[in-house]
Amino acid sequence: MKCTLRQLGYFVAASDHGSISAASKALNVSQPSVSVTISQIEKSYGVELFTRKNSVGINLTTAGQIVLREARMLLAHANDFDALATDVAQEVSGEIRIASFVNIAPIYMASIIRSFQKSHPDVLVKTFIGNQKEILEGIRSGHFEVAVSFDLGLSNEFRIDVGRSLPPSSSSMQITSWPIARQRPLVISSRNPLSTSTYPIAEITSSHCSSVAA
């Protein structure tokens, strides 16, 4: 693009006010700034936007009328973009896909989902319960953003933080009777584009959770 949105704004203001001096007052800038800006646009595109007469001010040429219509549309789209970007930054919405190891799901998933949806009601949560192989393949492919599982078979390709470790003697979570729990600590993992530094997965559970990324 050969001109900026600010320059287009000067052009539109000059057209709306019918003179360079009136536009400069409305924009709170110097008159030469508006005049030079319009001249730069005309030079960049090789088109005359206004006819200039000292006695009557400025009038749009035929080409200027066409450019003005498009400039108004472009500036309106820019304003819409600003509003949309602000809304996206302030609100979390979309979809998150959570996978869980089959034996962990009955203990953790309900509370995690309930807490997350309370904080982010506009996010649709989809769940998958499966074995470790299915979960890791889903994380690698990007099919799942978040996984709650044990740390079995996790290589350096994943980003891992331990949510809770269960020593072999522990029975508080009633899962140490499982052979897998006697061998490895419990790991809560996330790979979630919705969970930025502002909305980490740690916020949706009472334990300190973690991230895993392929």
Each residue's pLDDT tens digit, 169-210: 443 333 333 333 333 333 334 444 443 333 333 333 333 333
Note the pTM of the prediction, 2 decimals. 0.45
Classified by CATH at the fold level, domain 5-89 comes out as: Arc Repressor Mutant, subunit A (1.10.10)
Alpha carbon distance 135, 146 (integer Å): 9
* Identical fold between 5-89 and 94-204: no
Q: Which two tokens stand for residue 66?
A: 């066409």
- Per DSSP (E only), the strands in the chain are 50-53, 57-60, 94-101, 123-130, 146-150, 186-190
Q: How far is CA 90 from CA 40, 87, 120, 132, 169, in A?
A: 38, 5, 11, 35, 45
Query: Domain limits of the chain?
Result: 5-89, 94-204
Which 8-state DSSP code applies to residue 151? S
Mapping DSSP to helix (H, G, I), strand (E, B) and coil, where does residue 128 land? strand
Q: Give 94-204's CATH code, choosing from 3.40.718.10, 3.40.190.10, 1.20.120.1810, 3.40.50.720.
A: 3.40.190.10
Beta pairing partners, 171: none
Each residue's pLDDT tens digit, 126-167: 999 999 889 888 888 888 887 888 777 777 776 666 666 655
